Structure 1
Amino acid sequence: MESVIGPETRIKVSSVLNRDTPSFGKQHLIDGSAETCWNSEQGLPQHILLDFGSPVFIQQVIMTFQGGFVGKTCTALGSTAEQPNDYQLGLSTFYPQDINSEQSFAIESTSPVQRLKLIFEESTDFYGRITLYKLDIRGTKA
């Protein structure tokens, strides 16, 4: 099992705090720095969309939130290369803890997916903001 996020992976996010992309943009999800983060605007749901460029089998989602700004109900949906905009593959629903530590969630995709959508339906923040310092998707290339 290895990271399936590579140079060809495209990432989109639902929002960025105060539209301040240099400080809080999607690039900080995978930059490897413990000092930077993606920070959403207020409001729910929020989401992260990853297009891997080619089909992958997903086995694990790894995230590090800022306590107090955690997506406490998360749904993972997948789409195939044939229908990239049709997220009909319900992969998993998981419930991160309201902590600052790295958390890992098992996901077993029985079909290869080209796109993964992580939806944060609830937040521990009253205003619905999400702060995520690290995101990694582990699995294998299809």
Structure 2
Amino acid sequence: MEAAPAKPKNSANVVTVQAGSKSVVVARCEAADGKPAATIKWLASVGGNHSTSTTNGPDGTVTVRSEYQLVPTPADDGGEVTCMVDQRTQAQPWVHPVKLSVEYPPSVSIEGYDNNWYVGRSDAVLLCMANGNPEPTAVTWTA
């Protein structure tokens, strides 16, 4: 006698990566121990692709794993990819958005110079703007 259908245990998680020039895994999605096998799809506003693998369990269930890959840039930090798991025992697809975590060195700019500095001016201000992940914690000025 064949085993009854089984609802998969679904999960999705982010993989923190560093900005670079190679394609790396930035998110994983899994539908564990389902029967029949689930289908995993990705919805993404960032470029990239995915690879999916399946593992058969001894009780006739199937675990489906999918990894989303891209060449991470600073602009991808905070971007979103969404894992969608479809399987017939679920009333509707399981949908889980994952926020990407891309680490990159700070980009720094100095703002505030208005082309009107002169000796004796007292309200001159410069701002050091630093943007990075993780967020810069200290700024040091040197002349």
TM-score under structure 2 normalisation? 0.38
Higher RCO, 1 vs 2 (CA within 8 Å, ≥6 residues apart): 1
Higher percent of residues as helix: 1
Structure exhibiting the larger radius of gyration computed from Cα positions: 2
